[in-house]
């Protein structure tokens, strides 16, 4: 009987360890909201995630990693399919320069920034600056939109030799579930 209890406890601990490890591998959207400004509608978002050991090693060896954030705003219609008002994405790339020992962040359509440590660079990826997702007037004032948001490590933008390993290795599957919320256009 004691042997059975030990075996049961060991299996239970193994299951708990696996669920905790699996939860740590994903991206969590910790904050997301849309703000109206003179420039247009801006997305303010924050993510929580950790890189796998393989990803950190790839960065340390100069391999760039790309993280893509996708957002979609739809307006429900009773007579037809939902109206897709906004559908856009932004890709942020991190690369380590071995010669200068700097981590560089490239944001599509923006300037690049350099950081001294990986943690500083990852902070910028986890809490990106607000970006304009739609120009002013793209949304109908007073209408309620369903916002769908997700972020993932874009394996298709990896160097070709790494893509094979990345698509077959679960350590390289870093993505969030779609986060949905509503927004009333100002």
pLDDT, tens only, 125-183: 999 989 999 999 899 999 999 999 999 999 988 887 777 777 777 778 899 999 999 99
Residue closest to 32 by CA, chosen among 184, 186, 180: 180
Q: What percent of the chain has pLDDT over 90?
A: 64
Where does residue 21 rank: exposed (0-12), middle (13-18), buried (19+ CB within 10 A)? exposed
Q: What percent of the chain has pLDDT over 70?
A: 87
The lowest-confidence range among 21-35, 86-100, 105-119, 145-159 is 21-35
CA dist 184 and 130 (Å) reads: 18
CA dihedral sign of residues 21, 152, 46, 180: negative
Specify the pTM: 0.80
Contact 101, 179 (CB under 8 A): no
Contact 176, 28 (CB under 8 A): yes
What token pair was written down for 50? Answer: 């950790």
Dump pLDDT digits (tens) for 12-34.
334 333 333 343 458 999 999 99
């Amino acid at each position: 009987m004691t042997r059975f209890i030990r075996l049961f406890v060991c299996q239970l601990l193994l299951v708990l360890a696996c669920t905790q490890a699996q939860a740590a591998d994903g991206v969590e959207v910790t904050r997301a909201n849309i703000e109206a400004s003179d420039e247009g509608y801006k997305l303010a978002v924050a993510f929580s995630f950790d890189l796998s050991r393989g990803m950190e090693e790839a960065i340390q060896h100069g391999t760039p990693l790309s993280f893509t954030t996708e957002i979609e705003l739809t307006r429900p219609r009773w007579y037809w399919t939902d109206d897709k008002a906004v559908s856009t994405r932004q890709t942020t790339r991190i690369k380590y320069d071995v010669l200068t020992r700097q981590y560089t962040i490239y944001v599509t359509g923006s300037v690049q920034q350099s950081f001294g440590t990986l943690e500083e660079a990852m902070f910028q990826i986890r809490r990106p600056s607000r970006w304009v997702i739609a120009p002013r007037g793209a949304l109908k004032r007073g209408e309620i939109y369903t916002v769908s948001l997700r972020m993932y490590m874009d394996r298709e933008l990896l160097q070709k030799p790494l893509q094979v390993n990345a698509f077959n290795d679960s350590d390289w599957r870093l993505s969030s579930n779609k986060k949905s919320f509503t927004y009333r256009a100002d």
